[in-house]
C-alpha cells in the first residue's frame, strides 16, 4: 500500500471518528434538551394546578422566607462561575477551569443549604409540609375546654391569648404553658396526675369546672375524664405550648399571613371569618375549618421538586470537578462541561421563574 493510500485511510478513519464523536455529542445534547422540555412541562402543570386550585377554595398566603432570596443570588453566581469554567475549558486554561468549576459546586451546595434554611423558616412560622389545615381543628380552645387564670377566663382570638381583653404578657404566657405541660402525655388507661392545680389555674370542661382529688381531675359527676377528652386536652396543651390559637400559621392574620376565598381576602373578627365586614355563612365558616392548606402543600411540592433536580445535578458537577482535576476535561473535550452548564443555567432560570411565580401569585 502506497504512502498516499495509507494517508488517505488514516484521514478517513479520523473523519469517521470525528463524525461518530459529533453524532454522540448531538445525541447527548438532544437528551439534555428533552430533559429540559420534560421538566418545563412538569412545572407548568404544577403552577397551572396551583392557580386552578386557588380559584375556588380557602387559600393561605404568607411571605416567602428570606433564605429563598439568598439562594436565588447564590444560584445566579454559580451560573456565572459555570460560564467562566466553560470558557476556561475551551481555551485550555486548566487552572482557571479547576477553580471555576469548584466554586460552582460550592455555590450549588450553598443553594441547597439556604433552601433547607428557608424550609426551617417556614416551619418556625407554623407552615408545615405535613399540616393539612389552615385552622386549628384538634384541641381548639373553647370547643371542649376553657381555662381560668387567677379568676379570669383566658380568651383566644386568632393567635392571641387574652385576659380581660388584653394580650397576656410573657410571664402569664409562660405560667400558662407550664400549667398545660402537665397534659402533654396521654395514657389510654391512667388519668392525668397533676402536681399544680387550683391555685392560679382552673380547667372548665363543657362549661363546668373540673375538681382535683388525689391528684386526679374529676368531672362534675366525680368521674375521671374519658380517654377521648384527655386526648383533646393534650392537643390543646400542645397548641398552647406552640402558642397556637385558631391558626396554624403564626402571627396576626392580615399582617403576617392572609386568608383568601375565591381570590378575595378575608378578615377574622371575634373568631369568625368576614368578607368586606360581612360575616360568612355558617356553611362557609365550617368549610373553612375543614379546608386543607393546599397553598403550603403546593409551595413545598414545587420547591422541593426543583431542589431535587439541583441535588441530582450536583452529582454531575462532582464528575466535572473530578474530570477537570484529572485532565479528562480539556480544550479537546468540553462536551460534558457544556452540557452540564446548559442544564445548570436552565435550573437557575427555572428557579427564578418559580420564585417570581410564588412571589406574585402566592
Same domain (yes/no): 107, 33: yes
Query: pTM for the complete prediction?
Result: 0.84
Residues 149 and 216 placed together within one structural domain of the fold: yes
Claim to verify: residue 216 and residue 182 sit in the same structural domain: yes
Q: Terminal CA-to-CA distance of the chain, rounded, Å?
A: 75
Question: Is pLDDT of 11 > 80?
Answer: no
Q: Would residue 263 count as lying in a domain?
A: no
275 found inside a domain: no
Which tens digits make up the pLDDT trace of 216-248?
889 888 899 999 999 999 999 999 999 999 999
**Has residue 160 been placed in a domain?**
yes
Q: How far apart are CA 293 and CA 263, in angstroms?
A: 15
Range of the domain at 204: 145-246
For residue 6, being part of any structural domain is answered with no
Q: How many domains does the chain have?
A: 2
> Are the beta carbons of 295 and 362 closer than 8 angstroms?
yes
Give the pLDDT band of residue 16 (cuts 50, 70, 90).
Answer: very low
Q: Same domain, yes or no, for 125 and 164? A: no
What gap in Å lies between CA 145 and CA 219, rounded to an integer?
A: 12
Angle between helices 227-241 and 170-180 (to 10 degrees): 150
Output the DSSP codes for 280-343: PPHHHHHHHHH---HHHHHHHHHHHHHHHHHHHHHHHHHHHHHHHHHT-SBTTB-HHHHHHHHH
CA angle 134, 139, 141 (to 5 degrees): 90
Q: Which of 215, 246, 277 is the last residue of a domain?
A: 246
Share of the chain above pLDDT 70, in %: 92
CATH of the domain at 81: 1.20.120.80
Position 8 scores a pLDDT of: 53
Please indicate, yes or no, whether residues 173 and 116 belong to a single structural domain of this protein: no
Where does a domain end: 179, 213, 246? 246
> Residue 18's pLDDT is what?
47
Cell 370542661 locates to 205
Q: How large a percentage of the chain has pLDDT more than 90? A: 70
Q: Is residue 19 part of a domain?
A: no
**What average pLDDT does range 68-86 have in this prediction?**
97
In a domain, 174, yes or no: yes
Average pLDDT for residues 304-316, to the nearest whole number? Answer: 97
Supply the pLDDT for residue 95.
94
Alpha carbon 343 to its chain centroid, in Å, reads 24
3-state secondary structure of 193: coil
Is pLDDT at 120 greater than 70 in this prediction?
Answer: yes
Q: Are 31 and 125 contained in the same domain?
A: yes
Domain boundary among 217, 246, 275: 246
Grid coordinates of 201: 389555674
Asked if the structure places residue 267 within a domain, the reply is no
157 and 235: one domain?
yes
Amino acid at each position: 500500500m502506497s504512502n498516499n493510500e495509507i494517508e488517505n485511510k488514516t484521514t478517513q478513519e479520523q473523519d469517521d471518528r470525528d463524525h461518530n464523536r459529533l453524532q454522540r455529542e448531538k445525541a447527548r445534547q438532544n437528551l439534555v434538551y428533552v430533559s429540559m422540555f420534560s421538566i418545563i412541562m412538569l412545572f407548568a402543570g404544577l403552577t397551572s394546578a396551583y392557580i386552578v386550585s386557588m380559584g375556588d377554595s380557602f387559600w393561605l398566603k404568607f411571605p416567602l422566607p428570606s433564605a429563598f432570596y439568598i439562594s436565588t443570588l447564590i444560584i445566579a453566581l454559580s451560573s456565572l462561575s459555570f460560564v467562566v469554567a466553560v470558557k476556561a475549558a475551551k481555551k485550555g486554561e486548566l487552572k482557571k477551569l479547576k477553580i471555576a468549576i469548584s466554586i460552582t459546586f460550592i455555590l450549588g451546595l450553598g443553594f441547597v443549604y439556604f433552601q433547607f434554611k428557608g424550609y426551617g423558616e417556614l416551619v418556625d412560622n407554623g407552615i408545615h409540609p405535613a399540616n393539612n389545615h389552615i385552622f386549628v381543628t384538634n384541641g381548639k380552645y373553647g370547643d371542649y375546654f376553657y381555662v381560668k387564670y387567677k379568676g379570669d377566663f383566658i380568651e383566644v382570638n386568632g393567635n392571641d391569648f387574652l385576659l380581660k381583653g388584653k394580650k397576656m404578657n410573657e410571664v402569664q404566657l409562660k405560667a400558662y404553658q407550664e400549667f398545660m405541660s402537665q397534659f402533654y402525655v396521654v395514657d389510654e388507661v391512667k388519668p392525668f396526675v397533676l402536681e399544680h392545680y387550683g391555685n392560679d389555674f382552673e380547667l372548665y370542661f363543657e362549661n363546668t369546672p373540673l375538681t382535683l382529688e388525689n391528684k386526679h381531675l374529676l368531672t362534675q359527676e366525680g368521674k375521671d375524664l374519658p380517654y377521648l377528652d384527655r386526648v383533646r386536652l393534650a392537643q390543646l396543651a400542645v397548641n398552647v405550648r406552640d402558642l397556637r390559637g385558631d391558626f396554624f400559621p403564626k402571627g396576626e392574620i392580615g399582617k403576617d399571613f392572609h386568608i383568601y376565598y375565591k381570590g378575595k381576602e378575608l378578615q377574622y373578627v371575634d373568631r369568625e371569618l368576614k368578607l368586606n365586614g360581612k360575616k360568612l355563612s355558617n356553611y362557609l365558616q365550617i368549610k373553612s375549618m375543614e379546608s386543607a392548606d393546599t397553598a403550603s402543600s403546593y409551595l413545598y411540592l414545587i420547591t422541593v421538586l426543583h431542589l431535587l433536580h439541583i441535588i441530582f445535578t450536583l452529582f454531575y458537577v462532582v464528575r466535572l470537578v473530578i474530570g477537570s482535576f484529572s485532565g479528562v476535561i480539556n480544550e479537546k473535550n468540553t462536551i460534558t462541561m457544556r452540557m452540564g452548564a446548559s442544564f445548570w443555567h436552565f435550573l437557575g432560570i427555572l428557579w427564578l421563574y418559580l420564585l417570581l411565580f410564588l412571589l406574585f401569585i402566592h
